[in-house]
Amino acid sequence: MFSNSIKVLSASRASKYESRGLEMIILTLMNIDIWMLKNVGYVTKKSFRLIKPIIESFFIMTIGAGLLVAYSIVYTPNLNDFFTRKPQNFPKEELMAISDASESYKALIHDELTHLKSKAFSLEMTIKRMHLELKNFNKYHKNLGDLMPDFASEAAGGTIISIPNTESFYQPHAAEFSIFGIPIWKPNYFTPRKIIQPWTQPGECWAFRGSHGNVEIELARTALVSSITIEHIPVTASLTGTINSAPKEFRVLGKFRDKYLILGSFQYNYNGPSSQIFQITKSDRTKIPLNLIMLQILSNWGNPEYTCIYRFRVHGKLYDSTDDSILLPKKKLIYNN
């Protein structure tokens, strides 16, 4: 009895082991099938992507070959003639004539190209020469004031005495930084002294309110004034493309015997060079020793708020006090009222 029960148990265990083994085999086979399906599909897609351009190219080449064959069949009545056709032979006389004509045309074209090259070279040299002359001209006019003595220069001893009936311009709403009410930075506005000092870039000028202003300058030494210079940036250097704040009409006066007399009235050229020199044309004015000069700006080029002056120079020669023939009678002088 006991032995029979052991046999039944062993048989049941064996059947269980067999069933589990079959399940494992089936699952393994299914995993293999799934892996193969997945990878085969991926490989197939990749292969198709690689082969597709080749197939398309082959298809296009086939269509082209077919069109060529159709064209040859339609436009060639006899295929044997098409494949066995020989090149046409032209007479030697015609070939020689064609050769001579081509040589003559080549010679004409060569001569024309040579002529055009010489013209282009000549034009290029002319343009370079014009640029050089213009550069030298601008350089001369720009630096001419530097080559003459400037009796108003602050570095030489010139001084701004006053600005009668003139107010320096500044932006009332400009930013100002302060700590506990103490200003530590404010915009840099140039004083009238700037017009007798050098400048190097746009913005380094003295601006006064409106279009009318006066500046009284004491010269470094008593001089016989022969010309003056007014400077402003040119239109090409302006960020806005305009210099409407530049002075337009102005006049220069010299103080003699406690009164100012007019040396000359001038106009600054809007499209002219940055530094413009104006000559004192009346010869009697160039013989008067002067120590005080008044610059009067009468108008500008359209700016309603302010006018800018970059530099004012006074040129001439040093007065020699031993030459008494320079002084003129008082009745011949025209004073400013």
Between 148 and 49, the more confident residue is: 148
Helix H or strand E encompassing 108? helix 92-147
Residue 32 has what pLDDT?
77
pLDDT at 161 over 80: yes
For residues 166 and 248, give the distance between their C-alpha atoms in angstroms, rounded to a whole number: 17
209: closest CA among 174, 168, 243, 250?
168
Among the ranges 23-27, 47-51, 175-179, which has the highest mean pLDDT value? 23-27
Q: Which pairing describes strands 259-267 and 249-256: parallel, antiparallel, or unpaired?
A: antiparallel
Residue 243 has what pLDDT?
95
Query: Averaged over 268-295, what is the pLDDT?
Result: 94
Q: Tokens in use for 285?
A: 């004015």
For residues 98 and 101, give the distance between their C-alpha atoms in angstroms, rounded to a whole number: 5
For residues 118 and 139, give the distance between their C-alpha atoms in angstroms, rounded to a whole number: 31
Percentage of residues in the chain with pLDDT exceeding 90?
40
pLDDT band at 325, cuts 50/70/90? very low
Distance of CA 124 to CAs 112, 114, 132, 135, 231, Å? 18, 15, 12, 16, 34
Number of residues written out for the chain: 337
pLDDT digits (tens, 9 = 90+) for 8-25: 445 555 566 666 777 788
Q: Is the dihedral of CA 267, 271, 276, 281 positive or negative?
A: negative
pLDDT at 215 over 60: yes
Q: Which residues pair with 218 in a beta bridge?
A: 159, 292
Between 294 and 39, the more confident residue is: 294
Residue 53 has what pLDDT?
78
Residue 238 has what pLDDT?
87
